[in-house]
């Protein structure tokens, strides 16, 4: 049924909207790439520092050279190699990236020889050497081995972080979620329409490739809206944000529509290869959740609480209503500017198991494309 009451039971009125925030000149995608390159520099420097301590050599300005090597590794991996290895299995991705980065790094010394430079300064040498002499020195091969070890470890650490997700990786590394922690977070869950029929028609292997390609298309939208992917549950995906990040620039509302726009841009490609263009339904809600590390043999960081129960029931209602996206009235009260770019539909009241009161939700449509 529909209602025009606010979550408290009073008539639904919106707070005065503050000035609309425009997205910064540096987009989240660019910030992600910059952070990743810096991450390589930091990991490379840390590994090189440990090796230098064990070797007993003076640290000095050598760490700066290793930081440059890390920046070089990050640029190579992020801007030149990443997409070229995406179709390979994860171990092959790692080996391919490590091999090419190290080959190109060592090739720089060969380039110095080809261009006829008379002298070249090794990272651990006080005096410059002739390039012709360097190629016959044991020190050159020791340095090459150290470069290979440092860059390979950096690639491994960053790839493991990507596989686990930044939030989970840092949570485990710092022990942040050893004890349950209450957080204010926004949760968006989206589910593929008619997934069972698609899986039966395509077959398991082809359906897996279909999902993987669709998930890959979502990447830019996820980065642009600063979302964390909490987990994949079959053909359902759960995204989360810290409350302040999710409401900023209406990130939590834009993500669903940006994903659907990305899919629409590649509709012909998907239809040609798989014969169908995916359609998703979603639900978004926010509030207090409990984040905690669970499991012993297989560990994970899970979210629980009233928000998770409510958003699951909201997704079920979206399927029943055959609507694209439902958003809770509680969350909309935190985003007073939402009505400027979104059409907010009538309110619906849904009961949630275990709750003493109902959840009030609205349908949502975007009538203006988000600024990138």
**Predicted pLDDT at 112:** 57
Domain assignment of residue 228, yes or no: yes
pLDDT tens, position by position, 149-192: 888 888 888 878 877 767 777 776 766 777 888 999 999 999 99
pLDDT tens, position by position, 224-275: 999 999 989 888 999 999 999 999 989 999 999 999 999 999 999 999 999 9
Q: Does one domain contain both 315 and 241?
A: yes
Q: Does one domain contain both 258 and 346?
A: yes
- Token couple for 52: 């230098």
**Predicted pLDDT at 18:** 46
Q: Classify residue 325 by its DSSP letter.
A: E
| Domains in the chain, number | 2
**Predicted pLDDT at 185:** 95
Domain assignment of residue 13, yes or no: no
| Angle between helical axes of 28-55 and 62-76 (0-180°, round to 10) | 140
Instruction: Kindly report the CATH number assigned to the domain that includes residue 238.
Output: 3.30.70.1230
Domain assignment of residue 226, yes or no: yes
| Angle between helical axes of 166-174 and 138-164 (0-180°, round to 10) | 110
**Predicted pLDDT at 239:** 96
Domain assignment of residue 186, yes or no: yes
Q: Does one domain contain both 202 and 335?
A: yes
Q: Does one domain contain both 190 and 84?
A: no
User: Which of 136, 164, 192 finishes a domain?
Assistant: 164
**Which H helix or E strand runs over 357?**
none
User: Which of 164, 196, 217 finishes a domain?
Assistant: 164
Domain assignment of residue 287, yes or no: yes
**Predicted pLDDT at 303:** 86
Are 250 and 145 contacting, i.e. CB atoms less than 8 angstroms apart? no
**What are the residue ranges in the chain where pLDDT is below 50?**
1-20, 116, 118-119, 122-124, 370-372
Q: Does one domain contain both 90 and 220?
A: no
Task: Tell me the residue range of the domain where 73 lies.
Answer: 28-164
Q: Does one domain contain both 135 and 195?
A: no
pLDDT more than 70, % of the chain: 74
């Amino acid at each position: 049924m529909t209602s025009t009451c606010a979550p408290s039971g009073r008539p639904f009125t919106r707070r005065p909207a503050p000035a609309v925030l425009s997205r910064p000149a540096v987009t989240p995608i660019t910030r992600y790439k910059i952070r990743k390159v810096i991450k390589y520099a930091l990991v490379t420097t840390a590994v090189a520092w440990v090796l230098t301590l064990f070797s007993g050599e003076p640290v000095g300005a050598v760490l700066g050279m290793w930081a440059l090597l890390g920046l070089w590794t990050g640029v190579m991996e992020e801007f030149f190699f990443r997409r070229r290895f995406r179709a390979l299995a994860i171990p092959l991705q790692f080996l391919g990236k490590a091999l090419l980065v190290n080959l190109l790094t060592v090739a720089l010394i060969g380039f110095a020889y080809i261009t006829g430079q008379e002298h070249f300064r090794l990272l651990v040498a006080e005096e410059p050497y002739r390039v012709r002499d360097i190629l016959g020195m044991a020190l050159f091969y020791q340095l090459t081995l150290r470069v290979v070890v440092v860059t390979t470890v950096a690639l491994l650490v960053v790839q493991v972080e990507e596989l686990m997700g930044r939030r989970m990786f840092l949570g485990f590394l710092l022990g942040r979620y050893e004890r349950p922690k209450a957080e204010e977070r926004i949760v968006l869950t989206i589910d593929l329409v008619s997934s069972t029929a698609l899986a039966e028609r395509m077959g398991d292997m082809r359906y897996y490739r279909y999902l993987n390609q669709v998930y890959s298309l979502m990447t830019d939208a996820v980065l642009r809206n600063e979302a964390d992917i909490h987990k994949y549950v079959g053909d359902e995906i759960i995204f989360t944000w810290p409350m302040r990040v999710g409401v900023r620039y209406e990130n939590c509302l834009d993500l669903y529509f940006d994903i659907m726009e990305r899919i629409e841009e590649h509709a012909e490609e998907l239809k040609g290869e798989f014969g169908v263009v995916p359609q998703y339904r979603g639900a978004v809600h926010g509030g207090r959740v409990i984040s905690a590390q669970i499991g012993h043999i297989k560990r994970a960081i899970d979210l629980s609480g009233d928000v998770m129960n409510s958003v699951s029931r909201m997704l079920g209602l979206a399927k029943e209503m055959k609507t694209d996206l439902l958003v809770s009235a509680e969350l909309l009260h935190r985003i007073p500017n939402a009505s400027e770019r979104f059409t907010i539909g009538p309110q619906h009241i849904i009961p949630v198991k275990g709750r003493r009161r109902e959840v009030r939700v609205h349908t949502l449509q975007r009538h203006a494309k988000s600024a990138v």
